[in-house]
Every structure is written in structure tokens, then in C-alpha cells.
């Protein structure tokens, strides 16, 4: 591509050295990796970008369609005002400058899932310019380093329909025909273009994760990669340190943050290999094959793509006067960086804080703390056992009916000795089974799950166990302290696992003497 951005300015990239990132070692010397990311976010407005059709995900094919979004002759677009507000809010969250006047252009290309055969997008004057994002990149030793990635622009556009490829393979290649559903066509889409300021796969992944968290914090989208509500393409090139930017390839089909990292690492090595073998990098789009772990040529451009951008005469300019921008700024929620700081003060470890934010559990954390839970304990349960059980069940926390109050209740039951950690995990399972219709205390009561910590009751059981295991008792008295574990196990068995382990231990020692 040309060495200028869409707004016509020269492309500027940072260097690996500025970011303290190691260079890549090739056979002929060192290489610097240069990556820029294009992220698409589907907005969660109620209606599409240009028409009043619903944006519901998963509706029957071609039921959320009208003359506008199916490109019927004579139909005209009208901007969804909420989409502009959402885009502005996200732009502010990304530290961007909101353009006082912006407009829409047509990007002309033929594709069956694009009903008008042009996409309404923004070109030389996008809504948002010059943002940035500070991302925390883990260094592998439990610590992290902060790197700033500049954002060139954020612009508004529309999504395309979905093609179902019918034939042998179900994939595009090998299909004998395709069937188009325009439900998704016209859903508001934001494109966020980073500067080529990324020099390793870890930073790319951290950037995408941070962006996803910010999108969720602002509430403009659920940003789910698996449902396509956030998508990422990577522009990858390599160069000798100090050289001009190398020819880049664009990698598509990155379906997870993990594939983003793998694909960048693979593509960097591939490009270095090609150049070191005397070849040249071809500007092209490459497809990431997750199964085989390789990128493949998707399209060799026979002629340079020519989108023939021009201002859409069906739409008018959008202005963002300072008052409007400031009013939207007041709607900015706490952003992940601030949340991380706050969680740290509440005693949550950085890893857990990152996990809580990335998985969207912050509201549950806040609710639990508001209901009296200790921050560290709430974080432990949320990203530990609760997340584990939900993931095993394939459920999202809201679908499971778990609330922050439930978490607080659970922790209180542990703290007052009613539940052991082990029992508490069973209680979590019970709450999930009931989809939240029963809280932890109710589940514990219904299932008779409570620690036996009443001293009189426990002492009787301990005495019975000691009497029935004379050999073991002898061994302990003879100095085999570890053998006490077997007696604890016996007590647990007698109490169906509900004995308080600490107290059991104490009583055993006391009775054995």
C-alpha cells in the first residue's frame, strides 16, 4: 500500500528499541517486527446504521431486512444517532480527538454480501483521530511493562451480510454456491486503526485485550470474538533496524487473541525467511489457518484494488461541537486502567485484576464488595472456582444467574465457618444448577452442606475414630505425625466431608494426647 494513511499523511511507526522490545534473530542478522492492527467492533445499537431494522443476533435469515439494508433501488440511508454517540464515546475512551466535522464516503467494490456493492464508510475525515492506548504487557515473571500504542483513527461504517457456502467443504473454496443472509448487512461497525507501533506478538495481544476491555467498559459492544462482534486484522512487516518500513501483508481470519499472537509470530518468521532466501515480500492478504498454524495467500491482487472513494451524496456531514463532545465525555465510565488501579488497592493481584476486567466480571466484583465481601476473596472466587465451573458448563455468568451478592454471601459463609472451601465449591455448583434461583445459604441448607464445627458433636466422632483405629494412634504416638491425615480422613468420611478440617486436627491431637 502507499506510504500514507487514508488521511494522506505519511505513515509513522515507532521502533522496537523505543518500546524495549527484542529484535528477531534471522540467519543474516537482526530484524525488527512492525505490526499495526485494524480492529472492527460491531455496535450494540438497537437498530442498524442506516435503517430501523433490528440488530438482534441470531434472528432467522433475512428477517431483519428492509429496502435500505437490502439495497433496493430507490432506498436511502439515514444515520443512526446512537451509533454516532457510541463511536464518539469510544473515541474519547481511546484518548482520540473528535473531528468537528466529518463525513461519509462510499467504498466501491463488488461482493454479494454487500447489498449496494459499495460500503458506506469514512475516508479522509473520520470521526476520531490521533488516539492512543497504554497497554500492560506481561513480562512472564508476574510483572508487566506498559507500552503506548498510538491509534491513527476510528471511523464509522457498516457491516456486510453473511454468506453460507454450500457444497463439498462448507468453506468458500470448494463451495459450488453461496447463500446470502442480509440480517447483518448495515449493522453499525467501527474500525479502529492503530499506528504500526507494535513490535512483538505479546504487545499485539495485550492491545487487543485492552481494546476489548475498553469497548466493554463503555458498553457500546459486548466485543465477543467468537460471535464476531469484535474482529481483528493484522498488518505485518519486517525491516532491518533503522530501515524504511518493509512491504506488509494483511492477515485475516484471526478468531481469537491467541491466534493473533500465533499468526504474527509465524508471519514474522515467514517474511524473514523469504527475504533471507533472496525473495521479496508481496503485498497481499493472507489467511490464518488455525489448525495448521500457517498463513496462506488469500488473494494475489491482479490489479491494485481501487475502491473509488467519493463523498456519499445520500448523506450529510456530521458535526461534533465541543458542547456535544463534552456532554458525551461525562458518560465515560471507569476505564480498565483505572479499574486495575482500584482493584490493586482492594488487594487484588494484577493478574486477577486483568482477568476480572478482560472477562467482564468487574460488575460482579463491585457488587460483591458492595455487599460486604473482602476484595481479595471476591477476586479469588470470581476468577478461580466460579470462572472454572462456568467455563466447564459453557455458561456465561449472567446466564448462570450468579450475582455479586451471591459471591458475598458465599464468602461470609466461609468466614463464619459454616462452609469449608471444599463445601463452598459444591455450593457454587448448586447455585449454578439453580440458575441463581437459590442463593448460597439456601443451597447449603437444602443440601445439608455445612461444616461440623460444633465442638461437642465433633469430639464424639473424633473419640469414636480414635477408639476404632488403635494401630494408627499408636503410630502417631510413636512419632509418625503424618499418619494423623488418615484419621482426619476417617472423620471426614463419618461427617460426609462436612467436618471443619482445622478443628478436627486440633481435637484429634487433643484426644490422642
Q: Which residues of this chain interact with Zn ion, rule CB under 5 A?
A: 51, 53, 66, 68-69
C-alpha distances out from residue 460 to 33, 361, 389, Å = 70, 44, 36
- For residues 238 and 31, the answer to whether their CB atoms sit within 8 Å is yes
- Distance, CA of 266 to CA of 111 (rounded, Å): 30
In the complex with other proteins, the residue whose CB is nearer, 31 or 118, is 118
Q: Interface with other proteins includes 282 (CB under 8 A)?
A: no
Nearer to other proteins, 257 or 318 (CB): 318
Q: Is 162 helix (H, G, I), strand (E, B) or coil?
A: strand
Q: Which is nearer to other proteins, 58 or 478 (by Cβ)?
A: 58
Which listed range, 6-14, 15-23, 72-80, 273-281, lies at the site for other proteins (CB under 8 A)? 72-80
Q: Could you tell me the smallest distance in angstroms from the CB atom of residue 75 to Zn ion?
A: 9
Cα atoms in the Cβ-side hemisphere of radius 13 Å centred on 393: 19
By CB under 8 A, tell whether 58 contacts other proteins: no
Q: According to the binding rule CB under 8 A, does residue 132 interact with other proteins?
A: no
The CA-based angle 276-280-284, given to 5 degrees, is 130
Q: Give the whole-angstrom CA distance, residue 423 versus residue 57.
A: 39
Give yes or no for residue 26 binding other proteins (CB under 8 A). Answer: no
**Residue 117 found at the interface with other proteins (CB under 8 A):** yes
Neighbours of 425 (CB within 10 A): 18
Q: Is 325 a binder of other proteins (CB under 8 A)?
A: no
C-alpha span between 201 and 260 (Å, rounded): 8
- As measured in angstroms, the least distance from the Cβ of 224 to Zn ion is 23
Nearest distance in Å: CB 1, other proteins: 12
Quick check: 389 binds other proteins (CB under 8 A)? no
In whole angstroms, give the CA distance from residue 332 to residue 217.
9
Residue 72 near other proteins by CB under 8 A: yes
Residue 255 is a binding residue for other proteins (CB under 8 A): no
Q: Smallest distance from the beta carbon of 53 to Zn ion, in angstroms?
A: 3
Counting contacts by CB under 8 A, is residue 332 touching other proteins?
no
CA–CA distances in Å: residue 330 to residues 129, 182, 325, 386: 20, 36, 9, 34
Compose the 170-209 pattern: x for residues touching other proteins by CB under 8 A, - for all others.
--x--xxxxxxxx---------------------------
| Per-residue binding letters, 427-466, with other proteins (x by CB under 8 A) | ----------------------------------------
How far CA 111 is from CA of 38, 153, 252, 421, in Å, comes to: 21, 25, 17, 57
CA 324 from centre of chain: 30
Amino acid at each position: 500500500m502507499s506510504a500514507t494513511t487514508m488521511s494522506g499523511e505519511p505513515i509513522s511507526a515507532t521502533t522496537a528499541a523505543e518500546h524495549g522490545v527484542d529484535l528477531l534473530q534471522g540467519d543474516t542478522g537482526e530484524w525488527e517486527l512492525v505490526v499495526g492492527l485494524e480492529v472492527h467492533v460491531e455496535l450494540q445499537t438497537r437498530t442498524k446504521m442506516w435503517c430501523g431494522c433490528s440488530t438482534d443476533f441470531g434472528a432467522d435469515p433475512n428477517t431483519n431486512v428492509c429496502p435500505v439494508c437490502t439495497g433496493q433501488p430507490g432506498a436511502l440511508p439515514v444515520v443512526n444517532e446512537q451509533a454516532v454517540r457510541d463511536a464518539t464515546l469510544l473515541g474519547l475512551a481511546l484518548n482520540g480527538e473528535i473531528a468537528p466535522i466529518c463525513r461519509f464516503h462510499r467504498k466501491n467494490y463488488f461482493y454479494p454480501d454487500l447489498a449496494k456493492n459499495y460500503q458506506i464508510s469514512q475516508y479522509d475525515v473520520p470521526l476520531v483521530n490521533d488516539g492512543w492506548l497504554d497497554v500492560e504487557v506481561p513480562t512472564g515473571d508476574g510483572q508487566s511493562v506498559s507500552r503506548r500504542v498510538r491509534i491513527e483513527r476510528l471511523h464509522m461504517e457498516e457491516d456486510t451480510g453473511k454468506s453460507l457456502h454450500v457444497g463439498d467443504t462448507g468453506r468458500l473454496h470448494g463451495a459450488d454456491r453461496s447463500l446470502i443472509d442480509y440480517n447483518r448487512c448495515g449493522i453499525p461497525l467501527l474500525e479502529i486503526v492503530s499506528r504500526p507501533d507494535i513490535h512483538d506478538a505479546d504487545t499485539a495481544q495485550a492491545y487487543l485485550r485492552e481494546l476489548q476491555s475498553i469497548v466493554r467498559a463503555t458498553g457500546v459492544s459486548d466485543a465477543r470474538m467468537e460471535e464476531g462482534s469484535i474482529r481483528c486484522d493484522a498488518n505485518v512487516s519486517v525491516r532491518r533496524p533503522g530501515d524504511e518500513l518493509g512491504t506488509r501483508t494483511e492477515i485475516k481470519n484471526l478468531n481469537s487473541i491467541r491466534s493473533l499472537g500465533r499468526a504474527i509470530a509465524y508471519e514474522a518468521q515467514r517474511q524473514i525467511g523469504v527475504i533471507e532466501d533472496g525473495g521479496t515480500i508481496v503485498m497481499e492478504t493472507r489467511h490464518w489457518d488455525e489448525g495448521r498454524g500457517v498463513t496462506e495467500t488469500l488473494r494475489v491482487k491482479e490489479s491494485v484494488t481501487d475502491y473509488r472513494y467519493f463523498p456519499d451524496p445520500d448523506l450529510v456531514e456530521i458535526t461534533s461541537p465541543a458542547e456535544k463532545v463534552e456532554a458525551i465525555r461525562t458518560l465515560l465510565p471507569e476505564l480498565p486502567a483505572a479499574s486495575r488501579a482500584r482493584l490493586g488497592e482492594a488487594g487484588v493481584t494484577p493478574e486477577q485484576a486483568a482477568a476480572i476486567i478482560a472477562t467482564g466480571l468487574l460488575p460482579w466484583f463491585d457488587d460483591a464488595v458492595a455487599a460486604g465481601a473482602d476484595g481479595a476473596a471476591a477476586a479469588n472466587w470470581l476468577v478461580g472456582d466460579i470462572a472454572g465451573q462456568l467455563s466447564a458448563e459453557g455458561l456465561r455468568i449472567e446466564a448462570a444467574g450468579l450475582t455479586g451478592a451471591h459471591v458475598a454471601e458465599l464468602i461470609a459463609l466461609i468466614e463464619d465457618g459454616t462452609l469449608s472451601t471444599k463445601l463452598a465449591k459444591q455450593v457454587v455448583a448448586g447455585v449454578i444448577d439453580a440458575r441463581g434461583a437459590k442463593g448460597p445459604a439456601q443451597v447449603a441448607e437444602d443440601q445439608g452442606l455445612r461444616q461440623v464445627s460444633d465442638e461437642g458433636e465433633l469430639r464424639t466422632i473424633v473419640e469414636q475414630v480414635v477408639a476404632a483405629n488403635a494401630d494408627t494412634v499408636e503410630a502417631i504416638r510413636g512419632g509418625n505425625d503424618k499418619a494423623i491425615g488418615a484419621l482426619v480422613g476417617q472423620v471426614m468420611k463419618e461427617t460426609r466431608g462436612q467436618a471443619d478440617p482445622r478443628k478436627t486436627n486440633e481435637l484429634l491431637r487433643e484426644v490422642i494426647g
